[in-house]
Amino acid sequence: MKYRNIVKGTFIERPNRFIAIVDIDGKKNTVHVKNTGRCKEILIPGAEVFMQYDPSPNRKTDYSLISVKKGETLINIDSQVPNKVVYDAIISNKIEALHSVSLLKREVTYKASRFDLYFESHYRKGFVEVKGVTLEENGIAMFPDAPTERGTRHIYEMIDAAKEGYEGYIFFLIQMKGTNMFRPNYRMDPAFSEALKTASQNNVKILAYDCIVTADSIDISSKIPIII
């Protein structure tokens, strides 16, 4: 996926979940943060950041913050992009477990649930729930970076769908390159982590892929080992 009109800046502070103050060419600007997660380990004063310049009369800010440099690693923090990246990867047959699907839909309701993707092939049908991952420690990618009751509920709903004959996938898209494994973040959210373990024991497949990230693009890359 490509972004347009990318501008570089220096992160100053984040007054709330939705905005940040960024130095762009020596001037302080208020920018929209396209991720309501904590991101505390990467959004630190002095960090190099990249934004999309997208002025509009309907917007309060002219910029959207999409990626942050952590050391030598560029991390995409756009929470709206993982679904599109995974959708495109499935369509392009880049996901081995989901090759050659004949139908792929976004945001499909199942009972009281709404999953990110629904797929069908000649003899298969199932759901995919996508989680974007921006947290990394010592080469290990982890999710979540904050407690997520909604995420835990999605996992149990996926288990229910699997019991009814659907294939179920929890797909962790690691929005960076350079990690060597993925694991749930037990320290941050034990309930989510236990739910993921339960899912893996009940025919729900857990996938993790990393990405190649540049200042103006993000593309799916390689399957990453998972430790649950």
CATH number of the CATH domain containing 113:
3.40.1350.60
Q: Quick check: is 228 in a domain? A: no
| CA pair distance 44, 84, nearest whole angstrom | 28
pTM of the model: 0.95
Q: In this structure, are 68 and 94 located in the same domain?
A: no
Q: In this structure, are 204 and 95 located in the same domain?
A: yes
Its domain, for residue 103, covers 82-223
The pLDDT value recorded for residue 169 is 98
Q: Quick check: is 106 in a domain? A: yes
Block means of pLDDT (10 residues each) for the chain, length 228 residues? 96 95 96 90 96 88 96 96 97 94 95 92 94 96 93 95 96 97 96 98 98 97 96
| CA pair distance 210, 194, nearest whole angstrom | 23
Q: In this structure, are 46 and 100 located in the same domain?
A: no
Q: In this structure, are 139 and 192 located in the same domain?
A: yes
DSSP assignment of 130-163 equals EEEE-EEETTEEEE-SS--HHHHHHHHHHHHHHH
Work out how many domains the chain is built from and give that number: 2
Domain end, chosen from 29, 45, 76, is at: 76
| CA pair distance 147, 189, nearest whole angstrom | 5
